[in-house]
Amino acid sequence: MQFDLRSMAEHMGAVAWGVVIVLFIMSMYSIAVMIERYITYKKATDQSRKYAVDVARFLKAGKIKEAIDASHGPNVKYSHLAKVLSLGLNEWQYQVESGEVERDKEAAVDSAKRAIQRATAVNLADLKRGLSGLATIGSTAPFVGLFGTTFGIINAFSGMALTGSGGIAAISAGIAEALITTAFGLFVAVPAVWAYNYFSGKVEAFNVEMDNSSSELLDYFIKKGA
């Protein structure tokens, strides 16, 4: 038997093929998540940069309604800042129109703060969507591959026992076939772990941006809201 991938694949058993199929599905899922999250985060970054400039300009001019309008629409659909600040702006506008700001400005600011916190929690959960799947694949794919390897080694030793032949030459082919699943498991796991760490860092950066922008908006309400 030749020790190339094609020859070893032809001699793989049902369990090994089952493991390879499971790992292939895991790999396709992780790739899909990587592509979807990369596109989403890229759009969120680009749209938020433009949105931050626009909403800052409106707020400096005291145009709350224009800032609210700028927080909606297809141009800010993926903006994490727009999703968070829009609720705070809407809540503040409601407080102004209802006269609550004049009666109790501190309570009005606190109400806007709670709206921003709720929006931040929801948006943060949305930004993390799919990352748990990457973490699961990264941590379990090597063990799925090892499961196939274990069965392959058992079969190799069983074949040696049945034929009565011994030595490394008698089982080397079987072990080589068995180790394919472990190699495939590592091939699936490593990119998933890298992507999870990279995207987790992006989400943390988005969270910092949302916190900073929220604090600046609340400071604006406190200083100039009335």
- Spatial distance between the Cα atoms of 93 and 117, rounded to a whole number of angstroms: 17
- Spatial distance between the Cα atoms of 59 and 65, rounded to a whole number of angstroms: 9
Which residues lie below 8 Å from residue 55, measured CB to CB, with a gap of 6+? 67, 70, 71, 81, 82, 85
Q: How high is the pLDDT of residue 25?
A: 95
What pLDDT tens digit does each residue of the chain (226 aa) get? 445 556 666 666 677 788 889 999 999 999 999 999 999 999 999 999 999 999 999 888 888 899 999 998 889 999 999 999 999 999 888 888 888 777 788 888 899 999 999 999 999 999 999 999 999 999 999 999 888 888 777 776 776 666 655 555 556 656 766 778 888 899 999 999 999 999 999 999 999 999 999 999 988 888 864 4
Write down the domain spans for the chain: 5-224
Residues counted in the chain: 226
Give φ, ψ of 86 to 5 degrees.
-60, -40
Q: How high is the pLDDT of residue 121?
A: 94
- Spatial distance between the Cα atoms of 41 and 43, rounded to a whole number of angstroms: 5
- Give the CA-trace dihedral at 219, 105, 81, 74, to 10 degrees: -140
Which residues lie below 8 Å from residue 188, measured CB to CB, with a gap of 6+? 23, 26, 27, 30, 137, 141, 145
Listed residue (106, 149, 134, 105) closest to 38, CA to CA: 134
What SS3 class is residue 210? helix
Residue 172 structure tokens: 């080397």
Whether residue 80 contacts residue 44, with contact meaning beta carbons closer than 8 Å, is answered with yes
Which residues lie below 8 Å from residue 90, measured CB to CB, with a gap of 6+? 68, 115
Q: How high is the pLDDT of residue 114?
A: 92
**pTM for the predicted model, two decimal places:** 0.82
- Spatial distance between the Cα atoms of 67 and 216, rounded to a whole number of angstroms: 14
